[in-house]
Structure 1
Amino acid sequence: MALKVKSFGMEIRPLKTMQELQQLDAVVNEFIAGNGIRKLISVSDSPTTDDKGETIGLVRVIAYEE
């Protein structure tokens, strides 16, 4: 069994966050289903910020067994 890590990114805009999070979930779920991944080890979200400290994006990282 090999452990792998995959990152996904999504820009976050004011008043559109829920829609963008649903899109990110869909992309990640499609990757998991499309690659026959059966065991996730970890899922982690981290915000990205601009020079003012405002959240402008989200990076989701998954670790899984192949």
Structure 2
Amino acid sequence: MSFKVKSFGIEIRPMKTMRELHEFDAMVNQFVAENGVKRIISVSDSATTDDKGETIGLVRVVAYED
């Protein structure tokens, strides 16, 4: 048994956030399905910001059992 970590990122634009979040979830779910991931240990989201402190993206880290 081994553990792996996969990171995903997405840019977020004003007025399109809900669509982008659905696409982001679909991207992560597709990775899980295509790679036969059976057990996810943790999922963590973190916002990225610009120099004004405005959210411009998200990073999602998924730790899973191989």
**TM-score, normalised by the number of residues in structure 2:** 0.99
Query: Which residues of 2 match residues 3-42 of structure 1 at below 5 A?
Result: 3-42=3-42
Q: Deviation of residue 48 (structure 1)?
A: 0.1
Q: Tell me, yes or no, if structure 1 residue 52 matches structure 2 residue 52.
A: yes
Q: What is the CA–CA distance in structure 2 between the aligned matches of 1:9 and 1:21, rounded to whole Å?
A: 11
Q: What is the CA–CA distance in structure 1 between the aligned matches of 2:2 and 2:18, rounded to whole Å?
A: 33
Tell me how many residue pairs correspond in the alignment. 66
C-alpha offsets along residues 2-39 of structure 1, whole Å, 9 cap, x if unaligned?
10000000000001000000000000000000000000
Moved over 3 A (4+): none
Q: What is the CA–CA distance in structure 1 between the aligned matches of 2:50 and 2:30, rounded to whole Å?
A: 29
Q: What is the CA–CA distance in structure 2 between the aligned matches of 1:22 and 1:33, rounded to whole Å?
A: 16
**TM-score, normalised by the number of residues in structure 1:** 0.99
Q: 5+ residue gaps in structure 2?
A: none
Structure 2 counterpart of 1:7, which letter? Answer: S
- What SS does structure 2 have at the residue aligned with 1:62? strand
